[in-house]
Structure 1
Amino acid sequence: MGAEERSPRIAICPGSYDPVTFGHLNIIERAAAIFDKVVVVVSTNTDKRSTFTPAERADMLRKVTAGMPNVAVDIHEGLVAEYAKTQGACTLVKGLRAVTDFEYEFQMALINQKLNPELETIFVTTDMRFMYLSSSAVREIAKYGGDLSDFVPPEIMGTIAERYHNHPSFTERSKGYDD
């Protein structure tokens, strides 16, 4: 008998990624090391007002994951549990920065499992270097023309800076940003 062929292990990394940060990228890289395929899904959060469109966020993600052959990027508006079924994914990977993230993510994991009983959620703690980092902090720094180099990959700094270029405080402080 030959070796039994197994199905590829596919994981979904859903998030708003508005914009993607080094913290997000750390979780994606770690998921890519575990799973055969990782689909990074830009999802919409109706409770949040987005700075970047889903297409812009997906474009930024494609730029920063270009060197990861087993990572794909997609956009989905709707239930992540249902999307996972369409991709043949059995796992959601969610990053946690602190205990405060866990309560919400735990609730979502239970709901997703109710909607799709074959779907497991794995929580990955963010690397300590990025525990403080959030997309909202990046947006605030960008709004006032601060240096983003410790927070986001260089491939997308220009895109983020351009979005805030017309903000008065950005134009006064942003002498060092180039595309």
Structure 2
Amino acid sequence: MKPILHILICSTRPGRVGPAIAQWAQQAALGNDKFEPQVVDLASFNLPVFDEPEHPRLQKYQHAHTRAWSASVNAADAFVLVLPEYNFGPPSALLNAMNYLVREWQYKPAAFVSYGGMSGGLRAVQVTKQLLTTLKVMPMLEAVAIPNVGQHLDAHKAFAPNDFHASSAGVMFDELYRWTQAMKPMRAPS
């Protein structure tokens, strides 16, 4: 059985390009043939600013939105975060979603497909990597960065990758798979 890969659309704002990039990432993952890739849209969970009365490590969730988010993160063996850069950092919706959970994230690798202006979202990735490590997530070095993302969208706002994006994705998925396999025993019940 192939590991389950969640390709997480991290932006929730109207008019975002994350869904188009996530669809491309899913197709690239299918072509890599190591994962069972599923696109997960953070916006679909409608998470308010963290509103659970108990600490997330206790997993005593009071709200349906938290239970749904918990089940989604728990089901994944690995993640690809489709991540824009907002004001030199990640979107606040992602930071909020990360804070909702603790145990569900642990001992899983995460790779990044980032996009933005000149930096291609790399500054948002750097901030997110630091935060993920506190949840015991292993962030990958190998990634896909998409600078000047608007130049890679067609008239229908579909993502039109170049050869560099495709080759970077192949390397990223290969390395993500290695870490997914290596971390699997760490997620086994002890």
TM-score, normalising length: structure 2 = 0.37
TM-score, normalising length: structure 1 = 0.39
